[in-house]
């Protein structure tokens, strides 16, 4: 006989699991109220927890399994004194505990108010899971529906018994789950506390300090989503993990559906993330081509086709083997243009049927359909984390929203109103380039990129060289201030008409004067955007 305690919020796969257990032999089930009702409804005999404890569920069901008779059956060990205790109190030792938790993560994603979120905090469930995991030598714990099949397979192969190896695996999964669950709750209340601090500061007319923007401790709990062929290079092993910050449900992670093509690699994932960040900010319709975590072409247009033509023409050589991304439905005609070259990935929020058919002619192209809202503007206070091995972790969070065109400050020139749209576009792109970064644009089209140089003038020269004669009358964006006037001299010679940059240099006055003499309009954003 298998004695089982069952208390589940997620009843996925439970009917099949219990019927297969019954086929393997006698089954004695004890269940909590809603689970009991479900099991009876599917035609399987079971008993209520109250039948065992002789104590009713109280406080609206908030107290139901927290009882010595329940935990005695879980924590029993094969010892004479334990057997005597269980006999005296009328309890059978349990062989299997099946418990999953209140759906705190799911309800959090629904945006429930605090008073309702509190009701989604499971108390008895984690206690049952931890107790069963602790005593895994004598019983098994299933805390996720995905584990049911492995339990059945083990019992079929071992005369109704669950192997020690599987019990250990289930133990590890159980403690991982409860740790993850507690982390979700802890992070939720940390954010609540931060909101209170910010509100109090605002009421007092004070700005929050940098230390108040992040909690004093952060628990990272990563769940393996997919094993990758290798890392950034073939000699590196790699695994793709998800975390509660990016979502755990199929609706939210990964942020795309792969419709065809080879398995995603580490570099593919990194490049697609860069692609999404640029497309979110660029405007629509927009097209972007990524190589090595930086764009080699990005543009906006009246149509998606126009945006693509402008982006691709920036640097057709670098576009070879690139990651192509779009902000609108991909048409069949545009798909035909794309497959003329070598492409690693094509990503968009939607595809015409004809476009998918065309792309399917190149079986290796990874076709990604973005999930809803992936390209929508994101909350500015999202965290980013960097792992520095011996140097620990650095976690960053924006304390103010990104600067947009209406907040740009004109510091030189008579104004070039016709270029303000390009100034906003250029600023939205340059912040996603590796520093020191320079980006040149005109008419919503990328003309030149100066990326990853150790001096700003070097990045300026590279971007201007790529832009060539097209730089005349264009906009140049810089991710940080200009430390000297040599950058302005180079811009003047190339015919740059407007510069947008953060400002903040001790030589700002000299730089502004140089722009005035050169007839260049300069806008300050007041916000640096390094990316390393």
Query: Would you say 360 and 242 are in contact if contact means Cβ atoms under 8 Å apart?
Result: no
Number of domains observed in the structure of the chain: 3
More confident residue, 223 or 499: 499
Alpha-helical (H) ranges within 241-394 are 266-282, 304-314, 316-319, 332-338, 353-359
Most confident of the following: 2-16, 18-32, 343-357: 343-357
Tell which of 168, 187, 206 closes a domain.
Answer: 187
Three-class SS state of 223: strand
The answer to whether residue 200 is domain-embedded is no
Closest listed residue to residue 481, CA positions, set 514, 446, 517, 507: 507
- With beta carbons less than 8 A apart as the criterion, state whether 449 and 462 touch: yes
**Within a domain: 433:** yes
- How long, in residues, is the chain? 532
Q: What is the pTM of this model?
A: 0.72
Percentage of the chain beyond pLDDT 70 is 93
Q: Based on the fold, state whether residues 96 and 7 are members of the same structural domain.
A: yes
pLDDT value at position 53? 77
Most confident of 149-153, 178-182, 203-207, 400-404: 149-153
Mean per-residue pLDDT, 397-417: 79
The single residue of 22, 106, 262, 292 carrying the catalytic annotation is 292
User: What is the per-residue pLDDT for 381?
Assistant: 56
In order of 205, 364, 366, the CA distances from 210 in angstroms are: 16, 47, 41
Domain harbouring 264, CATH code: 3.40.140.20
pLDDT computed for residue 336 by the predictor: 96
Given 107, 134, 168, 492, the catalytic residue: 134
pLDDT in tens, 122-147: 888 899 999 999 999 999 999 999 99
d(CA 53, CA 42): 24
Q: Which domain holds residue 100?
A: 2-187
**What average pLDDT does the segment 25-40 reach?**
90
Task: Check pLDDT > 90 for residue 109.
Answer: no
Q: Are residues 55 and 175 in the same domain?
A: yes
Instruction: Verify that 419 and 364 share a domain, yes or no.
Output: no
Q: What is the 3-state secondary structure (H, E, C) of 230-247?
A: CCCCCCCCEEEEECCCCC
- Please state, in angstroms and rounded to a whole number, the distance separating the CA atoms of residues 47 and 36: 7
- Asked if 479 contacts 528 with a C-beta cutoff of 8 angstroms, the reply is yes
* Bridge partners, 442 (sequence order): 445
Say if 151 falls within a structural domain.
Answer: yes
Q: How far apart are CA 449 and CA 310, in angstroms?
A: 14
> Do 24 and 143 sit in the same domain of this protein?
yes
For residue range 299-352, what is the model confidence (pLDDT) as tens digits?
999 999 999 999 999 999 999 999 999 999 999 999 999 999 999 999 999 999
Residue at which a domain ends, from 370, 385, 417: 370
In this structure, the answer to whether residues 422 and 356 fall within a common structural domain is: no
In a domain, 324, yes or no: yes
Based on the fold, state whether residues 325 and 465 are members of the same structural domain: no
What's the CA gap between 349 and 370, in Å, rounded?
5
- Residue from 106, 227, 125, 225 nearest 177 by CA: 125
Burial of residue 384, with CB atoms counted within 10 A of its CB: 0-12 exposed, 13-18 middle, 19 or more buried: exposed
Residue 205: pLDDT band (50, 70, 90) is: very low
Exposure pattern of 322-336 as b/e (b: 16+ CB <10 Å)?
Answer: bbbbbbbebbeebbe
Instruction: Tell me whether residue 379 is in a domain.
Output: no
Claim to verify: residue 435 and residue 511 sit in the same structural domain: yes
Do 259 and 354 lie in a common domain? yes
424 and 331 in a single domain? The answer is: no
Lowest mean pLDDT, pick from 34-38, 74-78, 288-292: 74-78
Q: For residues 530 and 480, is the Cβ–Cβ distance under 8 A?
A: yes
In the annotation, is 292 catalytic? yes
Q: Based on the domain organization, do 415 and 467 belong to the same domain? A: yes
197 pLDDT band (50/70/90 cuts)? very low
Q: Give domain status of residue 144, yes or no.
A: yes
DSSP string, 151-220: HHHHHHHTTT---HHHHHHHHHHHHHHHHHHHHHHHHHHHHHHHHHHHHHHHHTT-PPPGGGGS-S----
Q: In this structure, what CATH number is given to the domain that contains residue 93?
A: 3.40.50.1380
Neighbours of 285 (CB within 10 A): 20
Distance CA 341, CA 399 (A): 42
Encode pLDDT of 483-497 as tens digits: 999 999 999 999 999
362 located within any domain: yes
What pLDDT score does 466 carry? 96
Q: Is 67 a catalytic residue?
A: no
Using only the alpha carbons of the chain, give its radius of gyration: 30
Choose the final residue of a domain: 187, 203, 228.
187
106 and 162 belong to one structural domain: yes
Position 149 in a domain = yes
357: alpha, beta or left? (left if phi > 0; alpha if psi -120 to 50): alpha
**Same domain for 331 and 434?**
no
């Amino acid at each position: 006989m298998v004695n089982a305690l069952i208390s589940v919020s997620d009843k996925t796969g439970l009917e099949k699991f219990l019927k297969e257990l019954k086929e393997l032999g006698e089954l004695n089930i004890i269940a909590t109220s809603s689970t009991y009702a479900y099991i009876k409804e599917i035609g399987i005999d079971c008993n209520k927890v109250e039948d065992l404890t002789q104590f009713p569920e109280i406080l609206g069901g908030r107290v139901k399994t927290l009882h010595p008779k329940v935990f005695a059956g879980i924590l029993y060990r094969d010892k004479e004194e334990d057997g005597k205790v269980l006999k005296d109190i009328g309890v059978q030792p349990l062989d299997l505990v099946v418990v999953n938790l209140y759906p705190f993560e799911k309800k959090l994603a629904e945006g429930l108010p605090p008073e309702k979120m509190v009701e989604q905090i499971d108390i008895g469930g984690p206690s049952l899971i931890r107790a069963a995991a602790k005593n895994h030598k004598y019983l098994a714990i299933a805390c996720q529906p995905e584990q049911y099949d492995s339990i059945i397979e083990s019992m079929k192969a071992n005369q109704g018994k669950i192997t020690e190896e599987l019990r250990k695996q289930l133990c590890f999964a159980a403690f991982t789950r409860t740790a993850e669950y507690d982390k979700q709750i802890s992070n939720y209340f940390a954010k609540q506390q931060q909101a209170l601090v910010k509100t109090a500061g605002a009421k007092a007319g004070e700005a929050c300090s940098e230390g108040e923007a992040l909690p004093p401790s952060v628990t990272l709990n990563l769940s393996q989503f997919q094993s990758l062929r290798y890392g950034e290079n073939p000699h590196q092993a790699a695994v793709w993990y998800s975390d509660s910050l990016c979502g755990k449900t199929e609706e939210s992670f990964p942020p795309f559906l792969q419709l065809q093509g080879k398995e995603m690699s580490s570099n593919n994932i990194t490049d697609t993330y860069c692609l999404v960040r640029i497309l979110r900010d660029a405007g629509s319709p927009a097209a972007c081509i990524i190589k090595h975590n930086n764009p080699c072409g990005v543009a906006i247009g009246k149509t998606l086709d126009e945006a693509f033509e402008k982006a691709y023409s920036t640097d057709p050589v670098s576009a070879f083997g690139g990651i192509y991304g779009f902000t609108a439905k991909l048409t069949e005609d545009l798909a035909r243009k794309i497959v003329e070259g070598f492409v690693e990935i094509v990503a968009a929020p939607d595809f015409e049927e004809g476009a998918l058919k065309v792309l399917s002619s190149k079986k290796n192209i990874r076709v990604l359909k973005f999930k809803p809202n992936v390209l929508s503007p994101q909350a500015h206070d999202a965290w980013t984390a960097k792992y520095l091995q011996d140097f620990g972790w650095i976690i960053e969070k924006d304390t103010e929203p990104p600067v947009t065109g209406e907040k740009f400050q004109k510091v030189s020139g008579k104004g070039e109103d016709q270029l303000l749209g390009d100034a906003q576009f250029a600023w939205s792109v340059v912040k996603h380039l590796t520093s020191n970064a320079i980006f040149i644009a005109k008419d919503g089209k990328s003309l030149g990129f100066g990326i990853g140089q150790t001096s700003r003038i070097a990045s300026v020269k590279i971007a201007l060289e790529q832009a060539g004669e097209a730089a005349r009358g264009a906009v140049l964006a810089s991710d940080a201030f200009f430390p000297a006037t040599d950058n302005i001299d180079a811009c003047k010679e190339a015919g740059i008409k407007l510069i947008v940059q953060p400002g903040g240099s001790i030589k700002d006055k000299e730089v502004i004067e140089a722009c005035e003499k050169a007839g260049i309009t300069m806008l300050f954003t007041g916000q640096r955007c390094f990316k390393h």
